[in-house]
Amino acid sequence: MIQEPVPMLLGRVLLRAVRAHAALEGRCHLPPSLHVGIPGADVRSLELDTGEGLDLALRTEMLEAMTRAHLAQSVVPLVWLTRHPEGPDLEDLAWAAAAGQAGAELGVRLDLVVVTRRSWRDPRSGVGRSWTRLRQP
């Protein structure tokens, strides 16, 4: 769970995730997707079907599988969902619970954030940032 004050390096990584999502999405609405990795570097992504009704065990297994390659390289990845701002909050919490469970089983802390075109937010703590206009680096 991300708490205030957000470490500067983590804040930069999350801003990079927001910028990347905004650049990909443009004016169209992409389907919700799960991402594991380091934004702007090695990322594994999976498009989600919100009608699938995945349970905690399956979500946890999916996250563990997506995370193992990073952990094998001694890198603890970030987990994030990209979606339209008016997406389902319950789905966010379900994935956050799975990230917590997967992290516990793998022996690491996995943070999950929800990323939209203009913001990021930790669904468990409510900590996040939003921008009205993003500047490219």
More confident residue, 70 or 137: 70
Residue among 82, 84, 86, 95 nearest 52 (CA): 95
Contacts of residue 133, defined as CB under 8 A and 6 or more positions apart, other chains included, come to: none
pLDDT on residue 132? 86
The number of folded domains in the chain is 1
- The structure's pTM equals 0.89
> pLDDT tens-digit profile of 21-74?
888 876 677 788 999 999 888 899 999 886 677 899 999 999 999 999 999 999
CATH of the domain at 60: 3.40.140
More confident residue, 91 or 79: 79
Domain holding 93, by residue range, is 11-130
In a domain, residue 136? The reply is no
- Please report, for residues 15, 16, 42, 43, 68, the alpha-carbon distance to residue 137 in angstroms, rounded to integers and kept in the order given: 10, 9, 19, 20, 31
> pLDDT tens-digit profile of 116-130?
989 999 999 999 999
